[in-house]
Structure 1
Amino acid sequence: MTSPANVAKYQHYFDFISKAGLENTPITDIGCGRGGFLQWLNKKGWQANVIGVDVDIKSMPDNSPKQNSDDSQISFQTGGALSLPFAVNSQSLLTYFHVLEHIHDLDSVLSNAHTVLMNQGHILIEVPDAENYTQQPVGTAFWMGIREHIYHYSAQSLSNALNRHGFEIVSCQRATLPTPEFEYPSLMILAKKTENPSPTVFEPIGNIANYVTSSKLALQEQAETLITLAKQNSQLTIWGISTHLFSLLPKLTGIDYRLCDASKQKQQSHYQQQLILDPREIEPEAVLVIAPYLHAEKIENAALSLGWRPQSIHLLH
């Protein structure tokens, strides 16, 4: 939570909120996880109560309220985006950082938010900016391969949904933001609860449909490359059980392969009755495919230390 990348991201959130004139407004962060942003705000001296809400009680900090010198509090409680545990017209600012892309029923989320927000209250949403996926490719079909991302939003599609539920757009900001592992295209929209919201028109800046189509084609080409490698060699080993791999494996038809991962937790799992092996238990022979984009160099070094030859290692790109 306190990595330089996360702190830089929190500062970006803070600046966006403050620029909108909402500094020191009570915040309720939906899907707060470990509460990193709220704890950072609290230490920074945010002079208003902040509440974190998440369905996963294990991920949240101690939920006992903590008092600041200015009488503001930080607290955490269990709850979901579809059924917020608050009274009607009671909240000032709801934030949803990387929540909406994971939820099927967007309309219920926004309807519930509208119910608990006070009149003229605000909602702040951040999602990956689907129109800018090509600017931060990471690897082949990376953004389509994050299987827990159910929806991919443009500024216009998110704006339309907010308008439909009684919110008027206040501001929109696109940026490239850091995580401890990679940078991502961020789309942030701030909207206000109002009786007659005016629609907002955003000029499209990228073609999401083309990106999806090209990602599917690139994924198929990647699969065909691995099938060719498998047929040219006696054994194919794939190291790294990543989210992208679960989009690729169903396309590897007609070949045999072994799966391995250094994670003890993953080694206790299976893929279609196939055991995930410990890389140390595998003879370094034939071809090794390193699947994850984000940790490829680290895995390659580990593979070399286990006796894999450099010319036998194939990295997915």
Structure 2
Amino acid sequence: MNRYEKYVEIFDSNSISKEAAIADVGCAKGGFLAFLKQRGFSSLQGVEIDPKCAEYARTHYELDVATGTVDNLPFTDGSRDILIYNHVLEHLYDPLRALAEANRVLAEDGIVFVEVPNAGRYEDGRIFDFYWFCMREHINHFDLSHLTMLMEAAGFERIYECQSLMPYNSTANYPSLCVLFCKSKNVASGYGADTLGLSNSVRRYIDAEEDFLEIHRDQVSKLAASGRPVYVWGIGIEFFSLYSLAGLRDCNLRYLVDKNPAKQLKTVGGLSIISPECLSSAPLDSVVVIASVFNKDDMVNNLVSMSYPIGFITFC
């Protein structure tokens, strides 16, 4: 909700009308569109590639959401005033193709709202070892300069930017880059902008993450040498960083644990992912590795409340 509030503040400060024809491209389950609806925005549509998410938005929030893709939007030429690309461009193999489609459907004075992770501030928004590179679905990494160059190449002019640390939850923030661009026929080339800043920032981020990773490698090495049975709770990005980069795969892994039913009954390296209830019957000499930044406090509280004397290690 805090993030949505911030987005609406950006809309208000740039005089975006509540009657504007707004489309959220990649709207997921429609959360932001529903928020805009509550705030009095009246002409809202969404486009979502996942049919289950699109159906959820339609049935749960009563929103007009079509199943579609970024490069084939279900709108006529010049029919939208605002297009929202909230954490979309970093996922695209061909963002210029998607932005050509945006140019087609936008009115002559149309605006694109973009939010992406700010690669220039990955070090400031640290989550876990190489977190911002371990998200394999993130294939583009932007700072303000490079995002602007991309948008200018597609025929858009930057009119507003906000760089901040946006809250993930009560304990973690992510480096947010929110930018508004307007459709323009006379865009000045930005290729003379700061093109080395991103490279330098990413190199600093990599160096800092190597230092954190080395600490975790040492911890994991000692755990592996102990031979104790290991249960890992939290099978997400943090786990795969520990498993692939820090050597967790070399430990005496017994089970992988996660509350998410969609992950249960799947395997990693031949190991099953099972429900946390299994921890109550873990061997006395076993140890639980907690591998979740966002849920570690709840996990620790659950383990402490168990009557079974089980040890645990938090890497996050």
TM-score range, shorter chain: 0.7 to 0.9
3-state DSSP of counterpart to 1:77: strand
- Is the contact between residue 130 and residue 152 of structure 1 (CA under 8 Å) also seen in structure 2? yes
C-alpha displacement of 1:288 = 2.3
Aligned to 2:244: 250
Q: How does 1:37-56 map to 2 (within 5 A)?
A: 37-46=32-41, 48-56=42-50
Aligned to 2:111: 122
Residue type of the partner of 2:90? E
Residue type of the partner of 1:40? F
Aligned to 2:17: 23
Aligned to 2:144: 155
3-state DSSP of counterpart to 1:136: coil
Aligned to 1:173: 162
Aligned to 1:212: 206
Q: 1:246-270: per-residue Cα shift (whole Å, max 9, x none)?
A: 2321242544312332424322110
| Unaligned segments of structure 1, at least 5 residues | 1-5, 67-73
TM-score, normalised on structure 1?
Answer: 0.85
Instruction: State how far apart, in whole Å, the 2-side matches of 1:227 and 1:298 are.
Output: 26
C-alpha displacement of 1:138 = 2.9
Query: CA, structure 1 residues 213+86, in 2 after alignment: closer, same or farther (shift >3 Å)?
Result: farther
TM-score, normalised on structure 2?
Answer: 0.85
Aligned to 1:69: none
Query: CA, structure 1 residues 112+224, in 2 after alignment: closer, same or farther (shift >3 Å)?
Result: farther
Q: How does 1:84-123 map to 2 (within 5 A)?
A: 84-123=73-112
Residue 230 (structure 2) aligned to one of 232, 236, 250? 236
| Unaligned segments of structure 2, at least 5 residues | none
Identity %: 26
Aligned to 1:75: 64
C-alpha displacement of 1:64 = 11
C-alpha displacement of 1:121 = 1.4
Instruction: State how far apart, in whole Å, the 2-side matches of 1:306 and 1:267 are.
Output: 21
Number of equivalent positions = 302
- Is the contact between residue 98 and residue 127 of structure 1 (CA under 8 Å) also seen in structure 2? yes
Instruction: State how far apart, in whole Å, the 2-side matches of 1:280 and 1:262 are.
Output: 14
Aligned to 1:195: 185
- Is the contact between residue 167 and residue 191 of structure 1 (CA under 8 Å) also seen in structure 2? yes
Instruction: State how far apart, in whole Å, the 2-side matches of 1:178 and 1:29 are.
Output: 21
Instruction: State how far apart, in whole Å, the 2-side matches of 1:176 and 1:162 are.
Output: 23
Instruction: State how far apart, in whole Å, the 1-side matches of 2:158 and 2:222 are.
Output: 51
Q: 1:11-62: per-residue Cα shift (whole Å, max 9, x none)?
A: 211111221222222111101112122222222222x411111112222322
Query: CA, structure 1 residues 34+298, in 2 after alignment: closer, same or farther (shift >3 Å)?
Result: same
Query: CA, structure 1 residues 65+139, in 2 after alignment: closer, same or farther (shift >3 Å)?
Result: closer
C-alpha displacement of 1:309 = 4.9
After TM superposition, what 4+ stretches of structure 1 lie above 6 angstroms from structure 2?
63-66
Instruction: State how far apart, in whole Å, the 2-side matches of 1:63 and 1:298 are.
Output: 31
- Superposed CA RMSD in Å reads 2.6
Aligned to 1:70: none
Aligned to 2:173: 183
Are 1:288 and 2:288 matched, yes or no? Answer: yes
C-alpha displacement of 1:85 = 1.6
- Is the contact between residue 239 and residue 279 of structure 1 (CA under 8 Å) also seen in structure 2? no
3-state DSSP of counterpart to 1:135: coil
Are 1:315 and 2:314 matched, yes or no? Answer: yes
Residue type of the partner of 1:185? P
Instruction: State how far apart, in whole Å, the 1-side matches of 2:307 and 2:220 are.
Output: 21
Instruction: State how far apart, in whole Å, the 2-side matches of 1:99 and 1:284 are.
Output: 46
- Is the contact between residue 233 and residue 287 of structure 1 (CA under 8 Å) also seen in structure 2? no
3-state DSSP of counterpart to 1:115: helix
Instruction: State how far apart, in whole Å, the 2-side matches of 1:202 and 1:124 are.
Output: 22
Residue 34 (structure 1) aligned to one of 11, 29, 38? 29
C-alpha displacement of 1:158 = 0.6
